[in-house]
Chain A
Amino acid sequence: MQQASIKNVAPKDAKLAMANIYVAFIALLLGGLAGLLQVLVRSGEFTIPGGIKIGYYQVLTVHGILLGLILTTFFILGFQIAAVSRTAGPLTDKQRNIGWIGFWLMVLGTAMASTMVLLNKATVLYTFYAPLKAHWIFYLGLTLVVVGSWLLCVPQFMKYFQWKKENPGQTSPLLTYMAFVNSLLWVTCSLGVAVSVLFQLLPWSLGLITRVDVLLTRTLFWYFGHALVYFWLLPAYMAWYAIVPKIVGGKIFSDSLARFSFILFLLFSFPVGIHHQLTEPGIDGFWKFVQVTLTFFVIIPSLMTAFSMFATFELRGRELGGKGVLGWFKKLPWGDARFLLPFIGMLAFIPGGAGGIVNASYQMNQLIHNTIWVTGHFHLTVATTVILTFFGVAFFLIPHLTGRVLTPALNKLGIYVGILWAIGMSIMSLSMHVVGLMGAPRRSDYSTYGGAEQAAEWIPYAIAQAVGGTILFVAIIIVTYIVIQLAFFAPKGHEEFPVAEVAPGAEKTPAILENFKFWGVIVAALIIFAYTMPIIDILRNSPLGSTGFTPW
């Protein structure tokens, strides 16, 4: 088979992938710094020096945009471009050039949006809920980021179809397939936010229309916003299914199961966004509950993934001579940062996923909605599960792309990052969860709330968050050092891009899993089912729209 002969990312594709990865890690450092400032300010023990004219909510906006949107999107697209080139073969010049145009559009958009945030013209947080009204350059910048990201998805689509055409009847390489599904998911979900920005927020900020439908923009945002979290998560799953097994020396547990779980994510990522809107008016309780039910379906592929991972680890551990119920566990390569960091990420997904079920649970959501519990939740999922897996990937991917090697010393530093992250995040996320249950709100500056007794009880937890956050920032500095070393200074050589193989004797993957016309119809049907009535309701029941406010 063709993919067996490809071992490396083609050099020209490596440049495109690395360009994205550089931006991602710059965003990590700056966004991490913003996170550090936030936890320090919120603890009440520190204020931003008076000479620096930047407010808490500006810092919060920077943190959310740089880490939630910029770091993730750039890293994911860079990783996926590399994974496609590695497993389906080099991109054609045309495909790569489209990718480069996308990259520069994203950079331009990021610069535009960030400038407006730093000028205090767009202190709207990364969710930019209307009727908070940012400068039009901010919305245009975000639009360019999204359009650019689509152009980075295009070469992945083209390469997949090219491969299928050149290898009729064969099963596509697993990583290429997964990158294809995740790109499809991204384009489909970002259409929602594109409609909201292009037809409502951008013309509104330019003064072309005077009023916007607040609930419509929110509903379109969350149609995008929940699928967005799977766009973050699926590249981590790509690494878990197709790369980590090779790192531990094992095989892919089941190729068809891996693909099937990705299809389930594609189906159930979209018709679930209203579970972010459970406590708001204007949406019928029945349709909220329908989307809650659909949300529960998206848990199933994660259950499947958990089983596959531990099956792979146990099979490999026993192959290495692990005995008894847990003897295999000790045989795993704990000293390998490429394994340890994703593994810590997997563990974090157990409480992260459980907390997510609470969040989506209709009336139970009232207890935690917009409390800092939610912040604690997604710092386990995206900021631990996803990001630690990305770090683990970066440790081999960057040297693979730059023609260097991960030295034992850098690997050891990587291990420290994993340990520091686990400690720092346990402290920060646990205190966020606990104080969130007590009612402390998210997205809020330090406050004693007029000397209220309850607010005083929250302060020790904010101090704990500052301690955890500081440890995490130290880890980010170490990661930055490792990345700079791997990109520019580590010894020249060949670092493997590990890609696992299917266990021998595995059954052929069913062709239906690659029939995207079929799955596309089901995706469309689910979206139409879940959203038609709520959207019609919102439009028919629509109050006077909002003219916009800038209360910052």
Chain B
Amino acid sequence: MHLHKYEKWWLVFGCGTLVAFLIILGVGAFHNGTHPNNSKKVINYEKVDEIAPFNNPGVHKVEGKEWDYEVVIVASAFYYDPPEIVVPLGAKVKFTATTKDVIHGFQAAGTNINMMLEPGYISEYIAEMNQAGEYLIVCNEYCGTGHTAMHSMLKVVDENATGIN
């Protein structure tokens, strides 16, 4: 099959940029560890309230782990437990979440924290809280009539700033 000279250049350039882009993604993922939620842990979605850690949703400080806080979230139509998450600036936080019914989303707007919560599976994501502020958590997968009533708030607080203890 005959390819025009310019077309060869164009394809070499185009494919070259694709390869370069893939390498950046691959190094970012497999060398720097910036994976999305890839958890393969399963759970009985009908008994979420009885199974640790979901029997105790909320923010928990932990010691001796790669992260400083564990945030445990239980999603159900149309509610997140806890309805508010407060963590200090600079903390490394592991989010662990699951759903008791349909598929929900868990996204902190304006951050990389964005994962699907599916019945029977536990979703996990580790993030560093490197910017103080309030981040609205929204359900971003349609879950029924009350879909937009389903939200929470992630508050990253600077404990050294004046006015906050």
Contact = CB atoms under 8 A, between A and B. Distances in A.
A254 B2 contact: yes
Given A55-B145, A363-B35, A546 B107 contact: no
B1 A260 contact: yes
Contacts of A364: 25
A66 B122 CA distance: 35
A289 interface: yes
Interface string B77-119: 1100000000000000000000001110101111111111111
Interface in A334-393: 357, 361-367, 369-371
Interface residues of B, number: 72
Interface residues of A, number: 74
Interface of A: 55, 57, 60, 125, 129, 131-132, 214-215, 218, 254, 256-257, 260, 277-285, 288-289, 292-293, 296, 299-300, 303-304, 307-308, 311, 357, 361-367, 369-371, 438-447, 449-450, 452-455, 507, 510, 537, 541-546, 549, 551-552
Interface stretch (B14-22, B54-62, B66-74, B157-165): B14-22
Nearest to A440: B109
B121 to A, nearest CB: 4
Which of A260, A303, A455 is the most central at the interface, judged by chain B CB atoms within 10 Å of its CB?
A303
Which of B120, B138, B139, B142 is the most central at the interface, judged by chain A CB atoms within 10 Å of its CB?
B142
Contact of B43 (A293, A362, A543): A543
B136 A543 contact: no
18 contacts: A57-B142, A256-B2, A260-B1, A280-B121, A281-B37, A285-B29, A300-B15, A303-B11, A367-B112, A370-B105, A370-B116, A438-B110, A449-B136, A452-B134, A507-B1, A542-B42, A543-B42, A546-B120
Contacts of B78: 551
Given A131-B101, A361-B25, 10 more contacts: A57-B145, A256-B1, A257-B3, A280-B116, A281-B37, A292-B25, A370-B105, A443-B147, A454-B136, A510-B1
Contact of B107 (A357, A439, A510, A544): A439
A304 B11 contact: yes
Given A311-B4, A445-B147, A549-B102, A281 B39 contact: yes
B146 interface: yes
Nearest to A439: B109
Interface in B119-136: 119-124, 134-136
A215 to B, nearest CB: 6
A283 B138 contact: no
A215 B116 CA distance: 11
B46 interface: yes
B41 interface: yes
A441 B139 contact: yes
Contact of B140 (A125, A300, A371): A371
A256 B25 CA distance: 33
B102 A281 contact: no
A551 B114 contact: no
B110 A454 contact: yes
A370 B36 contact: no
Given A361-B21, A370-B114, A551 B10 contact: no
A275 to B, nearest CB: 11
A541 B14 CA distance: 39
A366 B22 CA distance: 16
